[in-house]
Chains A and B, each alone.
Chain A
Amino acid sequence: MSTVHLSVYRYNPESDSEPYMQDYELSGVTPDTMVLDAMIRIKAQDETLSFRRSCGEGVCGSDAININGRNSLGCITPLSILKQPVEIRPLPGMSVIRDLVVDMEPFYRQYRAVQPYLKIKDPIPEVEFRQSPEQRERLDGLYECILCGCCSTACPSFWWNPDKFLGPAALLQSYRFLADSRDQAGEERLNALEDSYKLFRCHTIMNCVQVCPKGLNPTKAIGEIKQMMVKQLI
């Protein structure tokens, strides 16, 4: 049991002219206490603190925040590994609605832009499409994305061009369908990525890989897409 100091980003557009950092002290923190647990305990004392949360186990992707300068999920980040005071801020590069809640719409828009659904052109059979375990394995590391936004909002290219560069999360999803043996729109998908921004603003900075709470590798997926494009040209 120990005491932890936190410094939390606060901004309420109805009452604050500008954002500020507010300090909190929490006692009775155990090695198991996660950042989200701490935020919930703070909210019990000060209900004006707003943040998103749901599953509490790293599956729903609601509580992506910036903790000590690094994007992560509050619910699976233990306080015990963090330097104090623990600085909690909203995801960078996004407009803040209130406190730790940011407007995720630009992120979701880019996700929708890659047409993230299976496209089949042949008549649909009455049984499942056959897919070998090896073909299915190509989707591992891609389908697990929880759309938390940690990667795209850690990406300088996305900060600069959130409307033109699709960002790591959307590109990972694009590759998830390009890599699916069942999808029949590969050429169309690759053609749609052909401009100087959508895909090619990735400069392999690899912040996305570093922060992904699910251990996924968007930079690798982006590289695979580029290779597919080259193959298509040849």
Chain B
Amino acid sequence: MGVENLDPGEPVNQDVNKVDRRRFDTLVIGAGGGGLRAALQLAQADAAVAVVSKVFPTRSHTVAAQGGMNAALANVLPDNWHWHMYDTVKGSDYLGDQDAIEYMCRAASRLVIELEHFGVPFSRLENGSIYQRPFGGQSQNFGGEQAARTCAAADRTGHAILHALYQQNIRAKTHFFDEYFAVDLIKDQQNFILGAVVISIETGQPLIIEAKTTLLATGGAGQLYRTNTNARINTGDGMAMALRAGIPLQDMEFVQFHPTGIAGKGMLISEGARGEGGYLINKDGERFMERYAPHAKDLASRDVVSRAIATEVREGRGCGPNGDHVLLKLTHLDADVILKRLPGIRDLSMTFAHVDPINKSIPVAPTAHYTMGGIPTNRYGQVVVPEFQGAEEPIPGLYAVGECACVSVHGANRLGGNSLLDIVVFGRAAGNHIIEFLGETRYHRVLDQDSVDRALEHLARWDLKGDGESVDDLRNELQRTMEDYCSVFRDHDVLDEGISKVLDISRRLEDVRLKDHSSVFNTARIEALELENLVDVACAAVNSAFARQESRGAHSRIDYPERDDKHWMKHTLYFKEGHQLDYKPVRMKPLTVEAFPPKARIY
């Protein structure tokens, strides 16, 4: 194997195609909580780390997380990590991998405390410890009374954590490429990942970033749906880059619809609102969750609450002139609770629903929120694929964490408060594993020019001139299609039609043309690249959903209303090539404790 003796971080000029090259030990793509936590671990270990982000880091979508982060600190009510593990396995509808779930729940307390030491301004209890609130799907003692496990900084926990992690990276002198967009991974013939081709949004110029390891931390794909709680940047970029590199996506049929997005608009109203005592009512003023989840009521798992709302609406008990939403009632709460614990959602309600929750209920509806599926990884963040003899062989040099990954701790349904935990736990774990890998890997491999050329061709495709459909029209059509054909309730015929519509959009993508071919801060080009990513991810979602003939977690098939453990307790793998599907077993064996075998899921 040939090697070039250059120091990491050193600009390399002898390039073919006159594309600039930079060289680092590690490339982190995405500067949300997962990417920043990993970058911090690496920078503290003196690795040369480059973080590429299409937005300035504190604009990443972690900033919008509201309610909090789960850890069994037991500051308010008795708790322990094993109960948290049970709740997470049950919440996942037994599709979560129990080794990863044990790892996450055990690490939680230590990592929340570490964030506190990083400066996160958590809300406080009288004794000065971190404030915790009840959240959906939480129990004491394996399914007993409600637990209070969610550590919160008012209802701005994501903002507090993202800013603190960025600040720590400033302290650690991490190297940032702000407003650079990652186009494609660079992969050689031996399947090693060697970095990525990125473009500077400001200049429009491509750049090759070579790295011994590459970490994808690009977040979810909420923009697949017309109404969603997500930022406009959540376009599944890392997932699609993985697909194009021949890597499958796992469990993409599982899309979480958050029960309480502002009706018709989508802004998130935190589950913390129900954790603090709020509840849902239908047009008759009935607290309907008592019928669907007699024990946990409004704090049942999100999939359960979203289905209940959708059912109320379908059966004619929705509110408003179109009967298309329900109401979230907080008016019975002390105004002080809303002002101190929920100031952010009060702002959002007043701005977007013209309602002050202190004296009027908020109109809410299930809204696309979170992608449970993603790039398959093990609990070290290594991307794993079926290859040779094993179902989970690591791809050398490639890692993924956070919403773009599927480790899988969320299985078929994520619990509220577990996503901030996921990014911190696995961001750190991936950082540690990369440090080990770097210890054994002294030199960069030779750059694969074919792979670079393919990425540059991909980019050049948008220089084509002429008439054609617009990016905007096709994206709107995709979002409407996903909303109509791959939503809360699904069945064979609807999904079948959904597949043909998404495939049609995928074909028409070739005829889309840009009118703006300028270089400097051309956001139209970025949106075109994002649309390609969304289309790739949409294909994964509809095909995976069509094939899974059961109802589990967020995937509700009207034609297969029961969970079918005999045939379907397995992970889906979708490959872009020929839209092939494959399956692999759920990792049922935890690290140290007994497995939680599947049982009926009642809240």
List the B residue with the shortest CB-CB distance to A182. Answer: B119
- Chain A positions within 8 Å of B168 at CB level: 117
Are A128 and B130 within 8 A (Cβ)?
yes
Per the bound structure, the CA–CA distance linking A117 and B122 in Å amounts to 15
A136 interface hit (Cβ, 8 Å): yes
B493 interface hit (Cβ, 8 Å): no
Per the bound structure, the CA–CA distance linking A136 and B130 in Å amounts to 11
Per the bound structure, the CA–CA distance linking A116 and B63 in Å amounts to 17
Are A60 and B121 within 8 A (Cβ)?
no
Are A14 and B160 within 8 A (Cβ)?
no
B69 to chain A, nearest CB (A): 13
A126-B113 in contact given A44-B470, A144-B156 (Cβ < 8 Å): yes
B513 to chain A, nearest CB (A): 11
- Chain A positions within 8 Å of B160 at CB level: 143
- Count residues of B near A (Cβ-Cβ below 8 Å): 59
Are A51 and B523 within 8 A (Cβ)?
yes
Are A54 and B202 within 8 A (Cβ)?
no
Are A62 and B59 within 8 A (Cβ)?
yes
Question: Which of B59, B128, B231, B351 has a CB less than 8 Å from the CB of A131?
Answer: B128
A57-B267 in contact given A14-B520, A15-B518, A147-B58 (Cβ < 8 Å): yes
A229 interface hit (Cβ, 8 Å): no
- Chain A positions within 8 Å of B352 at CB level: 32, 57
- Chain A positions within 8 Å of B127 at CB level: 130
- Chain B positions within 8 Å of A135 at CB level: 124, 128
List the B residue with the shortest CB-CB distance to A143. Answer: B121
B526 to chain A, nearest CB (A): 10
Q: Which of A54, A62, A126, A146: most chain B Cβ within 10 A?
A: A54
B135 to chain A, nearest CB (A): 19
- Chain B positions within 8 Å of A127 at CB level: 113, 129
Q: Which residues of chain B in 498-540 are interfacial with respect to chain A, using CB atoms and an 8 Å cutoff?
A: 514-516, 518-524, 527
B118 interface hit (Cβ, 8 Å): yes
B196 interface hit (Cβ, 8 Å): no
List the A residue with the shortest CB-CB distance to B167. Answer: A117
B454 interface hit (Cβ, 8 Å): no
- Chain A positions within 8 Å of B471 at CB level: 47
A136 to chain B, nearest CB (A): 5
List the B residue with the shortest CB-CB distance to A147. Answer: B58
Question: Which of B159, B233, B514 has a CB less than 8 Å from the CB of A54?
Answer: B233
Are A48 and B524 within 8 A (Cβ)?
yes
- Chain A positions within 8 Å of B59 at CB level: 52, 54-55, 60-62
- Chain A positions within 8 Å of B547 at CB level: none
B583 interface hit (Cβ, 8 Å): no
Per the bound structure, the CA–CA distance linking A124 and B117 in Å amounts to 8
Instruction: For the complex of A and B, list the 5 residue pairs with the smallest distance between their C-beta atoms, beginning with the closest.
Output: A130-B128, A118-B119, A47-B524, A117-B167, A98-B521
List the B residue with the shortest CB-CB distance to A78. Answer: B351
Are A12 and B130 within 8 A (Cβ)?
no
Are A146 and B159 within 8 A (Cβ)?
yes
Are B523 and A139 within 8 A (Cβ)?
no
B293 interface hit (Cβ, 8 Å): no
Question: Which of B63, B116, B171 has a CB less than 8 Å from the CB of A117?
Answer: B171
A61-B58 in contact given A13-B520, A97-B521, A180-B119 (Cβ < 8 Å): yes
Q: Which residues of chain A in 68-93 are interfacial with respect to chain B, using CB atoms and an 8 Å cutoff?
A: 76
A50 interface hit (Cβ, 8 Å): yes
A146 to chain B, nearest CB (A): 7
- Count residues of A near B (Cβ-Cβ below 8 Å): 55
B470 to chain A, nearest CB (A): 7
- Chain A positions within 8 Å of B520 at CB level: 12-14, 97-98
User: A48-B518, A50-B522, A146-B159 known; 18 other A-B pairs, CB under 8 Å?
Assistant: A14-B519, A44-B470, A54-B55, A54-B231, A56-B232, A58-B348, A60-B61, A62-B55, A101-B521, A104-B56, A115-B171, A117-B170, A128-B116, A128-B130, A132-B128, A143-B156, A146-B63, A182-B119
A67 to chain B, nearest CB (A): 15
List the B residue with the shortest CB-CB distance to A104. Answer: B56
Per the bound structure, the CA–CA distance linking A219 and B448 in Å amounts to 55
Q: Which residues of chain A in 145-197 are interfacial with respect to chain B, using CB atoms and an 8 Å cutoff?
A: 146-147, 177, 180, 182-183
Are B232 and A54 within 8 A (Cβ)?
yes
- Chain B positions within 8 Å of A97 at CB level: 202, 520-521
Per the bound structure, the CA–CA distance linking A23 and B518 in Å amounts to 21
Q: Mark B192-233, 1 if CB is under 8 A from A, else 0.
A: 000000000010000000000000000000000000000111
A59 interface hit (Cβ, 8 Å): yes
- Chain B positions within 8 Å of A14 at CB level: 518-520
- Chain A positions within 8 Å of B159 at CB level: 59, 144, 146
- Chain A positions within 8 Å of B514 at CB level: 47
Q: Mark B146-176, 1 if CB is under 8 A from A, else 0.
A: 0000000100100110011001101100000
Interface pairs (8), CB distance under 8 Å: A32-B265, A48-B515, A52-B55, A55-B59, A57-B267, A98-B520, A118-B164, A127-B129
Q: Mark A1-27, 1 if CB is under 8 A from B, else 0.
A: 000000000001111000000000000
Q: Mark A94-110, 1 if CB is under 8 A from B, else 0.
A: 00011101001000100
